[in-house]
Amino acid sequence: MTFLDYISHQYFRTAKLRNAMLAIPNPLPHDMSRTWPVEAFIYATNLASSFMRQRREYRIVLLRNKSEVPFITGDQPVINLRGVDVEEVDLYYPLSPDLAMIFTADRTRYSGDDADLGRIAVESYNHRIYAKSGSQIYGNDPVYLASLARLPKDERF
């Protein structure tokens, strides 16, 4: 439960997600910018509770980076690979330059419990993290980070 709570709060804690939520038209007569910290805590707790109730359906898929390109992370460290307008989640979370994980219930999309990734797959995950980042990305290769930061962000990821 501690891990499920942690990853859920990591998903909801960021400025990028807060700003996206504040941009949604609000029919209620309150200032969401003042209530967002509490709402984010409630949403994260509810998500973690849902994961806990369905824990037998979910699993962690470990992604081992076998390329020379490191995994990166950003100020939005946990992203849903399925997008935001869906009920299913595949939460991607880079753990180190050489290891990342996906928290998923989809056994067809991710057939095993682990996978070795090459450069193209690592670059794909890195581009998704970059696209979902607010203003910061992190990694252990400054040259790679600088080249990635020069690219336009594709918000469709």
| β pairing state of 73-74 and 99-104 | unpaired
Look up residue 62 and give its two tokens. 């470990």
pLDDT in tens, 100-154: 999 999 888 887 888 999 999 999 999 999 999 988 999 999 999 999 999 998 7
**For residues 118 and 8, what is the distance between their CA atoms, to the nearest angstrom?**
28
Distance from C-alpha of 9 to C-alpha of 43, rounded to nearest angstrom: 9
Q: Are 74 and 132 in contact (CB under 8 A)?
A: yes
Output the pLDDT for position 155: 66
63 is written with which tokens? 């992604």
Q: What is the pLDDT of residues 17-28, one digit of tens each?
A: 888 888 888 787
The domains of the chain are located at: 2-53, 59-149
Residue 129, pLDDT score: 95
CA–chain centroid gap for 55, Å, is 19
